[in-house]
Amino acid sequence: MWFDLALIAVGGFVAALVVGSAGFAFAIVVTGVWLYVLPPAQIVLLASICATVLHAVSVWRYRREIEFRLLWPFVIGGALGVPLGVLALQRLDTALFRHLFGVFMIAYSGYMLMRPRIPVLQLRPGIARAADGAVGWVSGILGGFALLHGTLPTIWCGLRGWDKRRSRYIYQPYILITGVLVMLCVGTTIKFEKSELILPLAVAAPAMALGLWAGTRVFDKISEELFRRLILCLILASGISLQF
């Protein structure tokens, strides 16, 4: 029992540290730890609740810096995509898709880590907004289908040439909003005693608070180039984790 609780706390701390420093990848990181001590159905709902709280706290911290004129195309696209992803969840092979998308993440991040400079897309304003909306839409589908709504916006913000703060002020609010939509769409399909969440949440909460605080300090101090490489390494690690 004590070992299980300790592992829940460790998983919460590490995943919150990642959210604080990079702004995404909570579910993938925490699932890799919690799978050893919690049933899958419980992990899905617990991770969704924890990720939503962490993203909400983090987004509230810099709410005045959010550029809503850049954010809204992503959000509208995501809102249209999530229901399609949930529908696809009932009809397609989730495991096969996760493997294929993981291969894409590995290939992209490996290639970008070897490049000396990241390419920047030069788009006219109208085309840029349409492309942002398309990325939000596809990511919404990925979220409803396989809880992978954070990866593509993170990649896309880098390709748009936005610095670490502008990028995070776009993709993290997007992850928060679409994550809530995913929970609303699929949360009611998970059947188990909700009281089973109380103890894991009580154990994970202080560890996540510490991890988020530490991660935020990391984000404030690292350089643009180090932040870029951190994001790429997390995408690479996430892609590898999807192969298991």
CA atoms within 13 A on the CB side of 230: 20
| This prediction's pTM | 0.83
Specify the amino acid at residue 230: L
Between residues 95 and 85, the one the model is more confident about = 85
pLDDT at 192: 58
Give residue-wise pLDDT tens across range 39-64: 766 777 788 888 889 999 999 988 89
pLDDT beyond 90 at 37 = no
Tally of structural domains, the chain: 1
18-22, 23-27, 39-43, range with greatest mean pLDDT: 18-22
pLDDT at 186: 65
Give residue-wise pLDDT tens across range 221-232: 888 878 878 888
Residue 15 token pair: 């995943």
- 171-190 burial, b if ≥16 CB within 10 A, otherwise e? bbbbbbbbbbbbbebbeeee
Contact 116, 155 (CB under 8 A): no
DSSP-derived secondary structure letter, 91: T
pLDDT beyond 90 at 234 = no
210: phi then psi, degrees, rounded to nearest 5: -65, -45
pLDDT beyond 80 at 117 = no
Residue 97: domain span: 2-241
pLDDT band at 187 (very low <50, low <70, confident <90, very high): low
Element (H, E) at 2: helix 2-22
Q: Which residues contact 131 (CB under 8 A, 6 or more apart)?
A: 123, 156
